[in-house]
Structure 1
Amino acid sequence: MSDFDDTPTLRRFRADDAPWLVERHATLYARDEGFDDSFGPLVAGILSDFVAHHDPERERGWIAEHKGHRLGSIFCVAGGADAAKLRLFLLVPEARGKGLGKQLLGACMGFARKAGYSEMVLWTHESHRAACALYKASGWQLIDSKPVHSFGVDLVEQSWKIRL
């Protein structure tokens, strides 16, 4: 990690991380993608549900941080009996391009394997080119792509899948 004098750490998500995560998603997606103010509440709902109902044996969230500063997140949640769903994968701009996304993705996929899932799925947008390149390089397959109008903008929604 070239801009860090020591390696960022991954730790488990805590409920007190939720406000930061909602704010970062809402702010960065509005700035970078033009998303409207419906996106923050969607993230808040996902996190609220996770905090209230997640199964710690089969579902987990991680926060990447460096010297007490949060840099990103990723979550593994149940998507069915045998499928895990990757959610809320985010890196703040200053942490991108340094291998931290690969580290987060590896932790999430490793956990899903150990939890007994046979596959993982995710939903994203074509405009997230760096993340999509990382998924492809990690063995994920694009299984669906379609134009949609979501969060106040026209997007190309994508679904990806990997066998674990």
Structure 2
Amino acid sequence: MSVELKHLGPGDSDWLVHQHRHIYARDEGFDDSFGDLVAQILRDFEASHDPAYERGFLAWEGGQRLGSVFCVRVDAQTAKLRLFLLVPQARGKGLGRRMLAESMEFARSKGYERMVLWTHESHRAACALYAAAGWRLTRSEPVHSFGVDLVEQSWEVDL
């Protein structure tokens, strides 16, 4: 697969909101509040991110977007992994591993000492990917979010 990782560009935010809404509604039963959260995260990123220390990566193959991963600043020592998504046809080919590694390397290159992320236990493939890359599960808590019962998780990794 000849996939290029590009920076967030025109039309990417709308695509990301649509994909998150569609995939998570279909696969997990999430309501529209999840897409609203993704839209807010992207608006905040576009309005105030520091390109020297934060990056939104979009995976492209040919003229098609395949997924995203974002690295955003929490504080001078900590970056947060956000909006990690692969469309179903791009899964199982090593692209998720590559995108996670690129995001972690970007964070390392910017002097961050650790990364954190928030996810759900139901995202088993992603959680296995995090564990294989050295991330540690630091919190697991049952919640009712996005119209469904979930187990929220926090993970972190030392860079």
* 8 Å CA contact retained: 1:15, 1:51: no
> Unaligned stretches of 5+ in structure 2?
none
Equivalent runs, 1:89-100 vs 2, <5 Å:
89-100=84-95
Partner of 1:131: 126
SS of the counterpart of 1:81? coil
1:15 Cα deviation from its structure 2 partner: 4.2
Candidates 71, 84, 98, aligned match of 1:76: 71
**Structure 2 counterpart of 1:155, from 137, 141, 150:** 150
1:74 touches 1:108 (CA, 8 Å); kept in 2?
yes
| Residue in structure 1 matched with residue 140 of structure 2 by the alignment | 145
Counterpart of 1:25 in structure 2 is 20
Identity within the alignment, %? 64
Correspondent of 1:11 among 6, 16, 20: 6
Which TM-score applies when normalising by structure 1? Answer: 0.95
Partner of 1:3: none
1:41 corresponds to: 36
Deviating beyond 4 angstroms after TM superposition, the runs of 4 or more aligned structure 1 residues are none
Deviation of 1:81 (Å): 2.1
Query: Gapped runs of 5+ residues in structure 1?
Result: 1-5
What CA RMSD, in Å, does the superposition of the two structures yield over aligned residues? Answer: 0.7
Q: Distance in 2 between matches of 1:41 and 1:15?
A: 19
Q: Which amino acid aligns with 1:120?
A: M
Amino acid at match of 1:59: E
